[in-house]
Amino acid sequence: MRSRDHDRIYLSPPHLGRHELNYVHKAFEDNWIAPTGPNITGFEQDVCQYTGAAYAVALASGTAAIHLGLILLGVEPGDDVLCSSFTFVATANPIVYQGATPVFVDSEPNTWNMCPVRLREAIEDRIRVGKKPKALILVHLYGTPAQLHELLNIAAEFEIPVLEDAAEALGSHYADRPLGTFGAVGVFSFNGNKILTTSSGGMLVTNRQDWAQQALFLATQAKDQAPYYQHSTTGYNYRLSNILAGIGRGQMELLEDRVKKRREIYAWYKEKLREVSAISFGPHEPVGSRSNRWLTTILLDANQTSATPEQVRQHLESRNIEARPLWKPLHQQPLFASSPTYGGAVCNDLFMRGLCLPSGSSMTEDDLQRVVDALREVVL
Ligand SMILES: *Cc1c(COP(=O)(O)O)cnc(C)c1O
């Protein structure tokens, strides 16, 4: 069976190194297939060491980590939770799992992340109608840091706790500090297309020991301290397996390399497409920050090319190259038709004009050249 088309250039395929299998083998040798095991502890320590977070809890997915994070922040049925509109649906789904309502906030055009002006407007308006938001989920889209200084100041002013969705942003920094450590809770994803992958997996980080313990308790079916199976809280089966954590340990060794390569890919595209005036690059890094450049994203200027992002995508597809639209804003999703939204024009415009280019860290210069050649054929 041909499991993968070798001519195809994928958007962001897994990129394994040489050590992942050693950790997985060790798990087999020691019969640590389940339930937990040393790879889990090791993987958590690796993430703590890299990010500087005091505690990390390895979970089955980033989505699970967001869900538990919202529980730790006290989100309950009927609450409102502020959330970036311009993101993947997994950011907001856990709000709904909790029976709460997402309140969407538009982006600003520099980082493409949550707009501080809109955030303040949203909070003041929600307070005016008597519903102060219970929590704020901040996303660092495509690995680019949000305007954290401004956003965190507003959250602090109104005493609204922040959950940082850094699912796409492992390895990114703001003010010399890794993303994921600015909120009360931070979340990373190790899904198949992320900068590092365990095939499927996530991590919750926090500086509060009681929260880390509570997250672990909830992730493992919320068993009370008793000799028999007793439960007084609803729990979940959200723990990562020791096998997958082994992959994570091998991957964590490679993080700096992977960030370097993704940043090089971004710079390479930018350089090679410099004179194609219809194409511009974004989002922009806030001063003093570093994006991991998880995906290279471009915007098309309709005044300079008649090609739409969808036409460009289809042309690349005809050359066996996978590109994808930017995330469709959540306030435009049928699923969230009744959710309150503040602004929306900025992320609508980005969605209409944008495209994600292949950005996998295993790409060769020939691959990159193929993408650039195909883009030049269609963006005239
Ligand atoms: C991937 C992703 C998630 C969800 O992570 P999973 O591990 O796939 O559950 C959440 N938020 C954003 C922004 C993501 O890109």
**Percentage of the chain surpassing pLDDT 90?**
95
Distance in angstroms (rounded) separating the CA atoms of residues 241 and 244: 5
**198 within ligand 1 shell (Cβ under 6 A):** no
Q: pLDDT value at position 31?
A: 81
Q: Is the Cβ atom of 363 under 6 angstroms away from ligand 1? A: no
* Pocket lining: 168 vs ligand 1, CB cutoff 6 Å: yes
What is the number of residues in the chain? 380
Per-residue pLDDT of 248-300, as tens digits, reads 999 999 999 999 999 999 999 999 999 999 999 999 999 999 999 999 999 99
pLDDT at 35: 66
Give distance in angstroms: CA of 319 to centre of ligand 1.
28
Residue 279 vs residues 25, 129, 188, 322, 359: alpha-carbon distances, Å? 46, 43, 30, 18, 17
Residue nearest to atom 6 of ligand 1 (CA): 62
Q: Is the pLDDT of residue 216 over 60?
A: yes
3 pLDDT more than 60: no
* Pocket flag, ligand 1, residue 62 (CB < 6 Å): yes
Residue 32: per-residue pLDDT:
77
Question: Which ligand 1 atom sits nearest the alpha carbon of residue 191?
Answer: 7
Query: Residues 180, 184, 190, CA angle at the centre, nearest 5°?
Result: 35
Judged against a pLDDT cut of 60, whether residue 2 lies above it is answered with no
pLDDT band, residue 41 (cuts 50/70/90) = very high
**Binding site membership of 295 for ligand 1 (Cβ less than 6 Å):** no
The domain locations on the chain are: 20-252, 255-379
Task: Please indicate whether residue 147, judged by its CB atom, sits closer than 6 Å to ligand 1.
Answer: no
In the chain, the amino acid numbered 30 is D
Domains 20-252 and 255-379 share a fold: no
- Our mutation pick for probing the ligand 1 site, out of 189, 198, 347, counting the most ligand atoms within 8 A of Cβ, is 189
Give one DSSP letter per residue of 80-108, joined into a string.
Answer: EEEEESSS-GGGTHHHHHTT-EEEEE-B-
Tens of pLDDT, residues 49-68: 999 999 999 999 999 999 99
Q: Is the pLDDT of residue 1 over 80?
A: no
Q: What is the pLDDT of residue 380?
A: 81
Structure tokens at 258: 């992977």
Please indicate whether residue 194 is annotated as part of the active site.
Answer: yes
Distance CA 222, CA 219 (A): 7
User: How far away, in angstroms, is 94 Cα from ligand 1 center?
Assistant: 11
Q: What is the DSSP letter of 156?
A: H
Which pLDDT does position 47 carry in this prediction?
Answer: 98
Confidence of residue 4 (pLDDT cuts 50, 70, 90): low
What is the mean predicted confidence (pLDDT) over 156-184? 98
Q: Is the CB of 12 under 6 A from ligand 1?
A: no
What pLDDT digit, counting tens, does each position of 76-118 carry? 999 999 999 999 999 999 999 999 999 999 999 999 999 999 9
What totals of helices (H) and strands (E) does the chain contain, helices first? 12, 14
Q: Which CATH architecture has domain 20-252?
A: 3-Layer(aba) Sandwich (3.40)
pLDDT of residue 33 exceeding 80: no
pLDDT at 5: 65
Mutate to test the pocket of ligand 1, among 139, 191, 197, 327 (most ligand atoms within 8 A of CB): 191
Cα 134 to ligand 1 centroid, rounded to whole Å: 22
| Active-site annotation holder among 132, 194, 261, 270 | 194
Model-level pTM? 0.97
Each residue's pLDDT tens digit, 329-348: 999 999 999 999 999 999 99
CATH 3.60.21.10 fits 255-379, yes or no: no
Determine the atom of ligand 1 nearest the C-alpha atom of 87: 13
